[in-house]
Amino acid sequence: SPEKEAIETLLKTRKERIGANLSISYKTPLKIVKGAFQYLYDDQGDTFIDCVNNVSHVGHCHPTVVRAIQQQAAKLNTNTRYLHDSLLEYAKLLTDSLPAPLSVCYFTNSGSEANDLAIRISRHYTRQKDVIVLDHAYHGTSTVAMELSPYKFDGPGGGGQPSHIHKALNPDLYRGVYRYGDAQAGAKYAADVERLIAALKTSDKGVAAFICETLLGVGGQIPLPPDYLKEVYRHVRAAGGLCIADEVQVGFGRIGDHFWGFELQDVVPDIVVLGKPIGNGHPMAAVVVTAEIAASFNNGMEYFNTFGGNPVSMETGIAVMKVIQEEELQKQALETGNHLMVGLTELMEKHPLIGEVRGHGLFVGVELVRNQETLEPAVPEIDWIVEEMRNRGFLLSTDGPLHNVIKIKPPLVFSKENADDLVAHLDEVLYKIK
């Protein structure tokens, strides 16, 4: 067909003109031409429910956000060396949503850049270089962010673990070394961080920072065990290090019960990193720190970022915040997420392939296993399921070090009806696999 031919031409040109180490989703690639809220439309006129894009947080092309971008782009876009109201208005909105000590913002254009800056700030503050990360984590694609990312440096093409980066155990209660039923698991996983700090001490080194997501994304859609961050932060602070929360995927109301992931653990980080959802697709990210840390970073070298904090980005951010509040999307994430998790958990009785359903709000993981005892990962079954769901109009994706976790993190406007449809189709697809 002419459509098929057009796709072939696009693929061929892409191969020639775009770096080939960029994968394409699905066996039959999609050409998405339009988006509206939780729906995406392809060039064939087919509609898909987006169950996985946590960037279009308040919905694809939300009119309030689109209007804010259009109006500001038509008026002015400059850098932050001029005074501008929206820079301060957005900084106020952000810091008002965070615990009081987190009061000073730096604006960047991507999560990678923000993590890079957070590490630079922590190294300056502590005069140390070493950083503790969680195994299998991903924190971005800049050179420093990749050094923080075992998912990258331990994988194909990675250069291996840098000597100043230290990997702590992934605190996974389902298949990790300490599991559900062990009330001390959080403290035991945290003790691994304490062990790394002690090892650094023996070679006269301290720790600049501990960085982790407040629910693990690439690590496998994993909520942290109770008390984990409280214990980790205690160990890190006792050693003079800073605690960085990467909220790029998790923050901004997605988890429902709270606006920020770290609130689930009842801790206050020293540095918070934000990205993806805050611009609803417009590229913007931020680092928020305490006044004391900001004062230390004001070290004589200017921090200037050409695009970070520009008026169009700031107006976009303000609009996203406004929509989250006006449409009560955090509450919707909680209610829809709980409804979805009940539906998915009911599937477990019929389908032993589902090992665990976990998450908070609209940040959900479904871990697939071939055997409930050995926890053998259900690969390649998971790839077949994701393809089959795509053919039925549901865009899903996979995550986790063993590539066996279905990730579900849709725009927050995802409805209970969408959740019911997703569960019903997943039920049929799982029956087909037997």
Closest approach of ligand PMP to the CB of residue 224, in Å: 14
Of 250 and 318, which has the nearer Cβ to ligand PMP?
250
Closest approach of ligand PMP to the CB of residue 145, in Å: 6
Cis peptide before 162 (omega within 30 of 0): no
> Site residues (CB under 6 A) for ligand PMP?
110-112, 115, 138-141, 213, 217, 246, 248-249, 275-276
Q: Report CA-CA distances (Å) from 248 to 40, 101, 307.
A: 23, 20, 19
Tokens of 108: 């960047």
Closest approach of ligand PMP to the CB of residue 297, in Å: 20
Closest approach of ligand PMP to the CB of residue 148, in Å: 9
Of 249 and 330, which has the nearer Cβ to ligand PMP?
249
Of 54 and 86, which has the nearer Cβ to ligand PMP?
54
Of 111 and 220, which has the nearer Cβ to ligand PMP?
111
| Alpha-carbon gap, residue 423 to 408, rounded angstroms | 12
Q: Report CA-CA distances (Å) from 85 to 309, 361, 419.
A: 11, 34, 40
Nearest to 359 by CA among 338, 375, 331, 389: 338
Q: Which residues pair with 146 in a beta bridge?
A: none
Closest approach of ligand PMP to the CB of residue 249, in Å: 5
Closest approach of ligand PMP to the CB of residue 75, in Å: 26
Of 84 and 139, which has the nearer Cβ to ligand PMP?
139
Of 150 and 355, which has the nearer Cβ to ligand PMP?
150
Q: Which residue is nearest to ligand PMP (CB)?
A: 111
3-class SS letters over 248-296: CCCCCCCCCCCCCHHHHHCCCCCEEEECHHHHECECCEEEEEEHHHHHH
21: number of Cβ within 10 Å: 7
| Alpha-carbon gap, residue 96 to 236, rounded angstroms | 26
